[in-house]
């Protein structure tokens, strides 16, 4: 039996300095942990064939599917503000691209499939824990409606990987609209390769922004489009309490997808200063800093594109600054619209922004759970008797009482019935997120006991984040003191 992947290779058709041709390193004894059957069907693949031992070999890199042209992509990047001129796929190999059932081109990439010319003395492998974390969180983000890379499969390698200790190895099959990053542009710009920047920009326009191909200034329009997508993406992150954890330019996708789930996490109690990443000692990528960092990263992209804007540097800089100046309005518009929806407002009025901010400030002072506060607020919109379920999340419940009185005065100005308001709020305020202690429990069960039942159950819960699932109510609860996860770690 031969598994068929209808591969195309538009990126591998670019000049040779865009990538390195390299095959995955075979693993010892691949064993399928999880196949995303829904995604396989969407990609036009046969999930039953992928579930076979031969499928596990392909999804681990032990065997190449017919038509694959494996490459490791070149890119650079700013890591915590420090520029590294060459990074690249050090443990990821792109097998090819497929056109999914919606006509969208998707990369299929193996992560943890062995060393590449960009590995920088690394082993190119991945441990089981980070693979499970990326699978859980990326699928949760997809079900929350946030643009994201997804996971097609997770496979045990049958080999150990050496980190601080020996850990079970695994390989993740990642699917993305593309793996082109801000850092990909930086790779060519740092070398003074304007032709490379132009070639890459033309490829990105053709792949992600085809509507720009015929405009007068396509490269200006490209920057505008990437700015718009990133502003919307980061607003969506904040609205569900997500912290990326490592917003380097090499982790900023040109397509506007969330990519590279390393030390990512979701907040429990609301605090804009929240940091989970063990390597973010200065809080550069704290929850509340993410819009500012997104703009910083986009500024690095604009610098790369300057030679395509104008031969006159001052003129090019002025044009780039104008485009970047639009970020704040685009982000604020998306974020404030999302916040109004979260508190059940159907219209926009003066004072709304202050009303929501007062709630957030009160939540910070009272260490109120972010997800549960907004979810339960929907029930309070239906019936004031349900206020008790929100008040109980506040150290000083009277602070919620004071705010709720103002909130009800505001909602009374709208015509929607209480049930309609509650239903609208529940459609945007999830009941379930991948809480850190739950993700850690899944990882520990798998690593310690080879037990994937908790992993499967968590995925089941997160597949319907906006539904009240009485059987899984415990998954909505924040961690007890002894369950708290205060640090998350990169998967390298």
Residues marked active site are found at 250
E strand or H helix at 212: none
- Strand, coil or helix: what is 185? helix
**Distance between CA atoms of residues 430 and 422, nearest Å:** 13
Count of C-beta atoms within a 10 Å radius of residue 448:
8
* Angle, CA of 61, 63 and 65, to the nearest 5°: 100
Which has the closest alpha carbon to 34: 17, 25, 47?
A: 47
Phi, psi of 118 (to 5 degrees): -105, 10
Q: What is the rounded distance in angstroms from the CA atom of residue 204 to the CA atom of residue 239? A: 28
Alpha-carbon distance 113 to 102, whole Å?
28
Cα diameter, the chain: 67
- Residue 464: closest CA among 425, 421, 427: 427
Residue 148: left if φ>0, alpha if ψ -120 to 50, beta else—which one? beta
The 3-state secondary structure of 84-101 reads ECCCCCCCEEEEEEEECC
365 CB contacts (<8 Å, ≥6 apart)? 395, 396, 399
Determine the Cα–Cα distance for residues 176 and 155; give it in Å rounded to an integer.
Answer: 18
The CA R_g of the chain, rounded to the nearest whole Å, is 23
Measure the CA–CA gap between 139 and 432, rounded to whole angstroms.
13
Residue partners of 294: CB distance under 8 A and separation at least 6: 230, 231, 233, 234, 247, 252, 327, 331
Kindly give the residue spans of alpha helices, DSSP state H, lying in 190-326: 194-208, 218-240, 290-309, 313-324
Quick check: helix, strand or coil at residue 242?
strand
Sign of CA dihedral 246, 79, 131, 235: positive
Do 238 and 283 meet the contact criterion of CB atoms below 8 Å apart? no
Residues 147, 257 contacting (CB under 8 angstroms):
yes
DSSP three-state, residue 248: coil
Query: What is d(CA 340, CA 433) in angstroms, rounded to the nearest whole number?
Result: 20
């Amino acid at each position: 039996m031969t598994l068929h992947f209808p591969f195309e290779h538009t990126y591998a058709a670019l000049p040779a300095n865009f990538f390195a041709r390299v095959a995955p390193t075979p693993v010892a004894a691949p064993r399928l942990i999880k196949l995303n059957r829904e995604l396989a069907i969407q990609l036009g693949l046969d999930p039953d064939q992928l579930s076979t031992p031969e499928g596990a070999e392909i999804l681990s890199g032990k065997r190449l599917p017919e038509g694959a042209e494996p490459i490791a992509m070149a890119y650079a990047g700013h890591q915590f503000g420090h520029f590294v001129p060459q990074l690249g796929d050090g443990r990821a190999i792109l097998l090819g691209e497929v056109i999914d059932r919606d006509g969208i081109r998707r990369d299929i990439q193996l992560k943890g499939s062995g060393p590449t010319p960009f590995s920088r003395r690394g082993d190119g492998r991945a441990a089981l824990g980070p693979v499970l974390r990326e699978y859980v969180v990326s699928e949760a983000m997809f079900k929350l409606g946030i643009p994201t890379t997804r996971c097609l499969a997770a496979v045990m390698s049958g080999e150990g990987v050496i980190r601080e200790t020996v850990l079970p190895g695994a390989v993740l099959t990642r699917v993305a609209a593309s793996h082109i990053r801000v850092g990909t542009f930086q790779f060519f710009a740092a070398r003074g390769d304007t032709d490379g920047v132009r070639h890459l920009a033309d490829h990105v326009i053709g792949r992600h922004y085809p509507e720009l191909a015929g405009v007068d200034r396509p490269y200006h329009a490209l920057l505008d489009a990437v700015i718009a997508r990133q502003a919307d993406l980061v607003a969506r992150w904040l609205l569900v309490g997500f912290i990326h954890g490592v917003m380097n330019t090499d982790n900023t996708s040109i397509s506007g997808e969330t990519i590279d789930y390393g030390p990512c996490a979701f907040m429990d109690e609301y605090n804009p200063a929240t940091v989970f990443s063990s390597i973010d000692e200065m809080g550069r990528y704290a929850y509340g800093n993410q819009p500012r960092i997104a703009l910083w990263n986009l500024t690095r992209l604009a610098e790369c594109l300057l030679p395509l804007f104008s031969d006159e540097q001052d003129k090019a800089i002025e044009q780039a600054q104008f485009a970047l100046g639009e970020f704040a309005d685009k982000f604020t518009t998306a974020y404030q619209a999302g916040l109004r929806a979260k508190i059940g407002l159907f219209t926009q009025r003066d004072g709304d922004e202050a009303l929501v901010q007062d709630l957030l400030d009160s939540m910070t002072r009272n260490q109120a759970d972010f997800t549960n506060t907004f979810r339960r607020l929907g029930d309070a919109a239906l019936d004031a008797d349900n206020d008790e379920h929100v008040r109980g999340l506040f150290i000083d419940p009277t602070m919620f009482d004071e705010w709720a009185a103002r909130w009800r005065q505001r909602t009374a100005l709208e015509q929607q019935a209480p049930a309609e308001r509650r239903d609208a709020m529940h459609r945007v305020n999830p009941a379930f997120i991948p809480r850190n202690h739950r993700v850690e429990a899944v990882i520990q069960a798998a690593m310690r006991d080879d037990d994937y039942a908790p992993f499967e159950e968590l995925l089941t819960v997160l597949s319907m984040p906006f539904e009240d699932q009485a059987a899984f109510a415990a998954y909505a609860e924040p961690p007890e003191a002894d369950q708290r996860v205060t640090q998350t770690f990169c998967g390298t």
